[in-house]
Structure 1
């Protein structure tokens, strides 16, 4: 039988959320339209895919889910082969100390046929300027206002951060720390604080003293600074790999846990034809790995955690 891919995509999105309203938000259509698409797919297949009321997959829905995802991936790869032939998706990343490419890479790996050129931008303003000039098709890093008109973005990951400290630091023996425990300590980062929106907001919120300067020469250089100046600490993504430098401790931050927000940015006008597939890839991978978990009673974010703008 011929499957309507719009109906299949509605089914897969509802299956990811187990909620018709949230699926509608992701697809940027009405909840009624999502319900109609799923109902028409069920009619064509001759089975119910979801229980109604408390939305759960039926046995038939569970069997259909992975083949449905494969069908969408194949369709996206086919479209990409036609429309993006000879022009890879050009993505710049920024925030290099925090390893943005490690979040982009597994998503791209799950998109067969997607050709990508990965580059680097100095910061958000540089990436935004490149997008508006058409030099790149998308950019990935931490987005904070103001974002220039003409660009869209979607939040794709919220990552907890740890405190890094040398063995000689008074906090080095702690199993965890609260942000309030950091008051009076020097939070070090190798760049001017006025360029570091996340660090600046964290320090303002919790009364931590910001200390910064010098050049960003990579993670090993940052860790060497912490060892050379035992009074210094820094914040670092909890899931980012650290080089094997003896004497460095990674300490979880709790009550609340600060979250570093990663977003994809792209031009609103004439986006690369593979942008929708990339966004769906982030959404699917993020659901499986719980990338967008946020509890305001437990976590801290400098600003609105809404996924789109």
Structure 2
């Protein structure tokens, strides 16, 4: 049985969108043309891949077919690229912009080969871009649930400080334990249920007061912190902060929160340039002690499993 790659591509895109009209638009097809391709594929396989009527959903056969279908497309695309000798840069998207992910990539970019960097809005939008083949890899904080078609590798664990107004009752402290902030107001740049790290921090350390605003960039975010002496938020210790009168950054100790940065890519569909990027990240992690973690002194929402755990002195 010989599969038609165009038909397989139509199936995969429809399976990802669960909407024939949207899937057709991403492939520059009419909905009728996409439906015909999928119908021919189903006829060839002798099974229904979708349930139609009142919406679109995968059948059990469709769910079984999806993962190997994605691998088939990846292999076909790689074969075409090899045959025509085409080289293109590794397309890397980032998310978590308030915490400045580009800082970390900038430290490895020159050693990582030919990169093109973009800006994703959040993990779900980056996930969609990866699954659609619009980008090759992404960089940011990964948290469950993660799509089964994706693979990730931890790159960096970054200590987080509390940022607060100089008028906050705890502003003069040289360091704070996270639980000392439980009577303060956690300020978040967006809905807290969409900001997994802050949400889990608040739950873990009993932060009852929570307030949210609109993400208009780091300067606006910190200005909102300064404006109210009850507020605080969290920021990686090494993020360059704007010079704002009345802003204090205080290290967190006892259990130091660590923000985890990871690389994310499609399972079984790695661009050749990904090896150079992961190698550059591993080299810098060894040099700059990016992956040190001691569960007795550090806090992570999801403890890491793919690197050594060592007690260390950060400051």
Q: CA deviation at 1:186?
A: 0.5
Q: Partner residue of 1:253?
A: 252
Counterpart secondary structure, 2:107: helix
Alpha-carbon distance in structure 2 between the residues aligned to 1:306 and 1:210: 32
Residue 214, structure 1, aligned to residue 213, structure 2: yes
Pairwise mapping of residues 57-96 of structure 1 onto structure 2 (< 5 A)?
Answer: 86-96=87-97
Alpha-carbon distance in structure 1 between the residues aligned to 2:209 and 2:91: 35
Residue 169, structure 1, aligned to residue 173, structure 2: no
Counterpart secondary structure, 1:131: helix
Pairwise mapping of residues 2-13 of structure 1 onto structure 2 (< 5 A)?
Answer: none
Counterpart secondary structure, 2:199: helix
Q: CA deviation at 1:129?
A: 0.8
Q: Partner residue of 1:98?
A: 99
Superimposed CA distance per residue, residues 268-299 of structure 1 (whole angstroms, 9 cap, x where no aligned partner)? 12211011111111001111000000001111
Residue 287, structure 1, aligned to residue 276, structure 2: no
Pairwise mapping of residues 24-35 of structure 1 onto structure 2 (< 5 A)?
Answer: none
Alpha-carbon distance in structure 1 between the residues aligned to 2:288 and 2:86: 31
Q: CA deviation at 1:242?
A: 0.5
Contact 2:111-2:277 at 8 Å conserved across structures: no
Alpha-carbon distance in structure 2 between the residues aligned to 1:192 and 1:83: 47
Pairwise mapping of residues 126-205 of structure 1 onto structure 2 (< 5 A)?
Answer: 126-205=125-204
Q: Partner residue of 1:124?
A: 123
Q: CA deviation at 1:209?
A: 2.6
Greater C-alpha radius of gyration: 2
Q: CA deviation at 1:256?
A: 0.7
Q: CA deviation at 1:221?
A: 0.2
Alpha-carbon distance in structure 2 between the residues aligned to 1:305 and 1:196: 19
Alpha-carbon distance in structure 1 between the residues aligned to 2:261 and 2:85: 26
The Cα RMSD (Å) is 1.9
Counterpart secondary structure, 2:108: helix
Alpha-carbon distance in structure 1 between the residues aligned to 2:170 and 2:85: 52
Contact 2:89-2:273 at 8 Å conserved across structures: no
Counterpart secondary structure, 1:226: helix
Q: CA deviation at 1:229?
A: 1.4
Q: Give the structure-2-normalised TM-score.
A: 0.69
Alpha-carbon distance in structure 1 between the residues aligned to 2:208 and 2:198: 10
Counterpart secondary structure, 1:136: coil
Counterpart secondary structure, 1:144: coil
Q: CA deviation at 1:213?
A: 2.5
Counterpart secondary structure, 1:293: coil
Counterpart secondary structure, 2:131: helix
Alpha-carbon distance in structure 1 between the residues aligned to 2:138 and 2:151: 11
Contact 1:193-1:210 at 8 Å conserved across structures: no
Contact 1:161-1:259 at 8 Å conserved across structures: yes
Q: CA deviation at 1:85?
A: 5.2
Distance 1:86-1:164 versus aligned 2 partners, 3 A rule:
same
Alpha-carbon distance in structure 2 between the residues aligned to 1:211 and 1:227: 16
Instruction: Give the gaps of 5 or more residues in structure 2.
Output: 1-82, 308-315
Distance 1:86-1:185 versus aligned 2 partners, 3 A rule:
same
Q: CA deviation at 1:167?
A: 0.8
**Residue correspondences, number:** 226
